[in-house]
């Protein structure tokens, strides 16, 4: 038997992978700039405005600075794991984007090119898996530093992510009961034909939103970082670009979470009346990508807006919120959704 390799397919996927990776990195880079601008504006300041017009070269300056800083590995640290921590954090952060549909199909030279790297039928499961692995970066880094604050942060990070993955998963189950599919592409296509799932699952969305804050270690749930009690937490001993990797991974995670929220609950690349505009093909796809990015940018802004509004939770409050409020609420949401589906399909004829 002869194998034929579809070279166009490989080139197409390689290009798509590089594009998605590049876009995630650039968005993460400019999120640092955006974060500082939003912080400044909320505090009636101007924010970075020296490097380039509007301070737009600031991320490059920051990155350059991080590269040139002295690299310190503490003598009592486990060298292998110390280096593995940030690498793993960065690796898992970049992995999630593989299953996200960035747009509909483009037609280039007679070929239909899907703007999704891998349309696997367990897309959301993949994301949950990668997010669960993301905490290993924090745990390994915190443990390998051989520092009590880092270790405390690692413990906090691990238990926080485990606690908040449960309500997140339960909130998503209610969503899948409606969509009947785990493939992100299917979920978006259903929202394109019907209504956005946020209208059907408002409580589910709220739970998912709160959990994403906890999963990405953003304020008000940035307890593994906790600069004023744990001194920076898991990245306390890190310097140079290894620190940069940790900070960068957080911003990539934030970007991916925003894309995910837009995709799961706000229609992804679909926008209202998109099939009634009278345009189709490549232009509609481009518009769709624009819509997805607009939604994503809003959520990124929302992440920042919350960070500069709400103070950090205490650890017991965090656990109480996760286990005593969000999980029962998610279960209740599941129950209501199930009842609603049953009622819609069968009426009262059980």
Residues that bind other proteins (CB under 8 A): 38, 41-46, 49, 305-306, 308-310
Task: With CA atoms as reference, report the closest residue to 312 among 205, 191, 214, 187.
Answer: 214
Looking at beta carbons only, is 42 or 61 nearer to other proteins? Answer: 42
CA distance 64 to 62: 5
- In whole angstroms, the minimum distance from the beta carbon of 9 to other proteins comes to 46
- In whole angstroms, the minimum distance from the beta carbon of 163 to other proteins comes to 18
Helix H, strand E, coil C: the string for 209-265 is HHHHHHHCCCCCCCCCCCCCCCCCHHHCCCCHHHHHHHHHHHHHHHHHHHHHHHHHH
- In whole angstroms, the minimum distance from the beta carbon of 349 to other proteins comes to 37
- In whole angstroms, the minimum distance from the beta carbon of 48 to other proteins comes to 12
Looking at beta carbons only, is 233 or 322 nearer to other proteins? Answer: 322
Looking at beta carbons only, is 126 or 302 nearer to other proteins? Answer: 302
- Tokens matching residue 247: 């900070």
Please state whether 97 falls in left (phi above 0), alpha (psi between -120 and 50) or beta. Answer: alpha
- In whole angstroms, the minimum distance from the beta carbon of 50 to other proteins comes to 10
SS3 133: helix
- Burial (Cβ within 10 Å: 0-12, 13-18, ≥19) of residue 168: buried
Looking at beta carbons only, is 28 or 321 nearer to other proteins? Answer: 321
Query: Are the C-beta atoms of residues 114 and 16 closer than 8 Å to each other?
Result: no
β-bridge partners, 108: 111
Looking at beta carbons only, is 213 or 245 nearer to other proteins? Answer: 213
Looking at beta carbons only, is 30 or 308 nearer to other proteins? Answer: 308
Looking at beta carbons only, is 58 or 145 nearer to other proteins? Answer: 58
Torsion, CA 331, CA 327, CA 249, CA 133, rounded to 10? -80
- In whole angstroms, the minimum distance from the beta carbon of 177 to other proteins comes to 25
Looking at beta carbons only, is 2 or 44 nearer to other proteins? Answer: 44
- In whole angstroms, the minimum distance from the beta carbon of 46 to other proteins comes to 5
Looking at beta carbons only, is 122 or 310 nearer to other proteins? Answer: 310
- In whole angstroms, the minimum distance from the beta carbon of 265 to other proteins comes to 17
Contacts 24+ apart (CB under 8 A), 303-308: 303/213, 303/216, 303/218, 303/254, 303/257, 303/258, 304/34, 304/35, 304/38, 304/39, 305/38, 305/42, 306/213, 306/218, 306/219, 306/220, 307/35, 307/39, 307/218, 307/219, 308/38, 308/39, 308/42, 308/43
State the DSSP code for 274: G
- In whole angstroms, the minimum distance from the beta carbon of 49 to other proteins comes to 8
């Amino acid at each position: 038997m002869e194998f034929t390799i579809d070279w166009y397919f490989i080139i197409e996927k390689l290009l798509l992978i590089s594009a998605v990776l590049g876009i995630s990195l650039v968005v993460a880079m400019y999120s640092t700039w955006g974060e500082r601008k939003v912080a400044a504006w909320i505090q009636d300041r101007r924010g970075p405005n020296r490097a380039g017009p509007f301070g737009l070269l600031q991320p490059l300056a920051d990155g350059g600075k991080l590269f040139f800083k002295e690299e310190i590995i503490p003598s009592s640290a486990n060298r292998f794991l110390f280096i593995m921590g940030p690498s793993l954090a960065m690796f898992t952060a970049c992995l999630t984007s593989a299953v996200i549909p960035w747009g509909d199909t483009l037609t280039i030279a007679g070929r239909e090119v899907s703007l999704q790297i891998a349309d696997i039928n367990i897309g959301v499961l993949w994301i949950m898996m990668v997010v669960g692995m993301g905490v290993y970066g924090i745990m390994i880094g915190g443990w390998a530093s051989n520092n009590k604050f880092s270790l405390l942060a690692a413990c906090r990070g691990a238990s926080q992510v485990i606690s908040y993955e449960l309500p997140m998963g339960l909130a998503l189950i209610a969503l899948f009961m409606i969509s009947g599919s785990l493939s992100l592409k299917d979920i978006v296509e259903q929202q394109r034909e019907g209504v956005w799932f946020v209208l059907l699952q408002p409580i589910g969305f709220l739970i998912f939103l709160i959990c994403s804050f906890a999963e990405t270690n953003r304020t008000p749930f940035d307890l593994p970082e906790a600069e004023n009690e744990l001194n920076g937490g898991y990245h306390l001993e890190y310097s140079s670009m290894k620190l940069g990797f940790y900070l960068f991974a957080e911003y990539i995670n934030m970007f991916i979470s925003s894309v995910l929220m837009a995709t799961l609950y706000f229609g992804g690349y679909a926008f209202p009346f998109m099939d009634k505009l009278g345009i189709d093909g490549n232009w509609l796809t481009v518009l769709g990508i624009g819509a997805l990015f607009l939604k994503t940018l809003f959520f990124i802004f929302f992440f920042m807006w919350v960070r500069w509004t709400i103070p950090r939770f205490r650890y017991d409050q965090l656990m109480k919120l996760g286990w005593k409020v969000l999980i029962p609420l998610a279960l209740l949401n599941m129950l209501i959704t199930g009842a609603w589906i049953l009622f819609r399909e069968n009426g009262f004829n059980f």
